[in-house]
């Protein structure tokens, strides 16, 4: 599992050292505080681990392409860093690995792909491979491979015996990392997803196919989850199925995919109670999308969801958060997730007594993004009980940080 992340010189994040992560990580902060920048830094690191950092590689991971002048931190009164430095630490409990990369791209004459200035991969503190402008080393000896400035060395040797175990796991996990940000027209199946993946696209494409792969109505299951638990969240839904488009429930003027999700409305007459994803509440589609990411065996081992709570009633967001966290923590692959939210009720769905679940506040004082973990102490828990307030209320009152300077 990813244990810690270091970011230097990326957008609003000038300096972030060894931020320790849990299995479920939730980031709260004002608009523009830098939550998405943190996720995108991991996306850039994933592209670097895969061997090339260009617009195509970034878009595949959900990172907004940008020019070097905007990617490199440029705070007033601060020296502009020439490189962006990114690092991730991986820990299996028996073995540790750290991948670090320094990336450059001239501001005056940007190149299509970023240049690898430095690169290193460590196992338990011992360097396996290293790279600098003067050359590269593998297991302490000079590498015989020609180094292309815009190609990663770690990706080139990823299948080598020297990288087996934690180092190879770290590179594979970073390579597969993606930021998901579902959009309603794509979830409804009436617009294409520009970033298709399996099991679902970054913006919600292929949702019907993914739901069909998990849905087992005869056994009452959705993956490892009891289907009844989903129906408890969607109180108007009697059943869920996946079928081909039909003129009985979808207008011929509506563009549709090969498969559509079909909901049976519990309150309507049986002969007229079927709704497609086009007509159904968008909140139901967002719930299914989130649970697909938590439950599907082909979901990335490390993933992020930007604006986890969008299009949901606050109480639905709270209950989905509880269910989503439980499924992630039970995942056989020890899936790890990073979520951003603006909905206070999401905080009330987090069991912060479980050290695997962590809450971070994101602030941008003097323009620099600061990310701090919220420490759950006996004193804080006692304060919540004595004052008869919830965690969400403390956040809205500004007592946890991560709020705009409007309060």
Determine contact, residues 103/110, Cβ cutoff 8 Å. no
Does the pLDDT of residue 2 top 70, yes or no? Answer: yes
Lowest-confidence range among 26-30, 86-90, 246-250?
246-250
> How far is CA 294 from each of CA 16, 201, 250, 303, 356, rounded to the nearest angstrom?
28, 14, 29, 10, 15
pLDDT at position 382 is 79
pLDDT at 403: 72
Alpha-carbon distances, residue 277 vs 215, 250, 260, 315 (angstroms): 16, 9, 7, 22
What was the pLDDT predicted at 400? 78
Please say if the pLDDT value at position 257 is more than 70: no
Question: Residue 254 — pLDDT band, cuts 50, 70, 90?
Answer: low
Residue 251 banded pLDDT, cuts 50, 70, 90: low
Q: Are 38 and 371 in contact (CB under 8 A)?
A: yes
| Residue 272: predicted pLDDT | 79
**Over the stretch 35-61, which tens digit does the pLDDT of each residue have?**
999 999 999 999 999 999 999 999 999
E-assigned strands of 71-151?
84-91, 96-104, 115-123, 126-132, 135-138, 141-142
pLDDT bucket at 199, cuts 50 / 70 / 90: very high
The whole-number pLDDT of residue 354 equals 92
Mean pLDDT of the chain: 90
What letter would DSSP give residue 292? H
Q: Percentage helix, strand, coil, to 5, in the chain? A: 30, 30, 45
Query: What does pTM read for this prediction?
Result: 0.93
Tens of pLDDT, residue by residue over 161-190, are 888 999 999 999 999 999 999 999 999 988
Q: Provide the residue count of the chain.
A: 407
Q: When comparing pLDDT for 40 and 192, which is higher?
A: 40
Angle at 296 between CA 314 and CA 336, to 5 degrees: 70
Token look-up 């000896």 returns 141
Here the tokens at position 223 are 């993956």
The pLDDT tens digits for 98-116 are: 999 999 999 999 999 999 9
* Interatomic CA distance for residues 224 and 226, integer angstroms: 7
CA dist., res. 47 & res. 267, Å (int): 48
Token readout for 70 is: 């905007």
Report the pLDDT value the prediction gives residue 26, as an integer from 0 to 100: 97
Q: How confident is the model at residue 248 (pLDDT cuts 50, 70, 90)?
A: low
Give per-residue pLDDT as tens, 327-364: 999 988 889 999 999 988 999 999 988 999 999 999 98
Question: What domains can be seen in the chain, in order of their start residue?
Answer: 2-177+300-396 (3.40.50.300), 207-276 (no CATH)
| Mean of pLDDT values over 210-229 | 95
pLDDT at site 284: 94
Note the pLDDT of residue 51.
Answer: 96
């Amino acid at each position: 599992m990813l244990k810690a992340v270091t970011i230097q010189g990326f957008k609003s994040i000038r300096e972030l050292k060894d931020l320790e992560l849990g299995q479920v990580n939730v980031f709260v902060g004002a608009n523009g505080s830098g939550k998405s920048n943190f996720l995108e830094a991991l996306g850039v690191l994933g592209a670097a681990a895969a061997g090339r950092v260009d617009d195509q590689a970034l878009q595949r991971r959900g990172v907004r392409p940008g020019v070097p002048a905007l990617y490199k931190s440029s705070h007033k009164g601060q020296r502009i860093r020439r490189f962006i430095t990114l690092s991730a630490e991986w820990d299996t409990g028996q073995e540790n690995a750290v991948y670090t990369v320094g990336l450059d791209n001239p501001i005056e004459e940007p190149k299509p792909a970023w240049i690898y200035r430095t690169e290193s991969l460590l196992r338990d503190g011992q360097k396996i491979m290293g790279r600098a402008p003067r050359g590269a080393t593998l297991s302490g000896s000079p590498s015989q491979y020609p180094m292309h400035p815009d190609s990663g060395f770690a990706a080139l040797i990823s299948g080598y015996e020297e990288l087996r175990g934690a180092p190879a796991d770290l590179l594979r996990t970073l390579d597969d990392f993606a930021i998901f940000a579902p959009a309603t027209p794509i979830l409804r199946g009436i617009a294409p997803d520009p970033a298709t993946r399996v099991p679902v696209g970054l913006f919600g494409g292929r949702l019907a196919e993914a739901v069909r792969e998990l849905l087992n109505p005869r056994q009452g299951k959705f993956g490892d989850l009891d289907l009844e638990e989903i129906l408890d969240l969607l109180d108007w839904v009697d059943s869920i199925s996946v079928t081909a488009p039909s003129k009985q429930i979808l207008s011929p003027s509506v563009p549709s995919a090969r498969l559509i999700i079909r909901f049976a409305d519990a309150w309507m007459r049986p002969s007229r109670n079927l709704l497609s994803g086009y007509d159904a509440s968008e909140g139901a589609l967002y719930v299914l999308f989130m649970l697909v990411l938590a439950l599907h065996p082909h979901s990335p081992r490390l993933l992020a969801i930007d604006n986890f709570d969008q299009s949901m009633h606050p109480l639905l967001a709270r209950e989905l958060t509880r269910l989503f966290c439980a499924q992630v923590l039970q995942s056989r692959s020890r899936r790890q997730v990073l979520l951003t939210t603006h909905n206070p009720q999401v905080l009330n769905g987090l069991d912060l007594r479980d050290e695997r679940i962590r809450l971070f506040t994101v602030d941008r004082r003097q323009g620099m993004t600061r990310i701090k973990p919220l420490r759950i102490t006996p004193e804080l828990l006692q304060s919540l009980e004595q004052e008869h307030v919830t965690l969400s209320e403390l956040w809205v009152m500004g007592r946890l940080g991560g709020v705009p300077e409007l309060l």
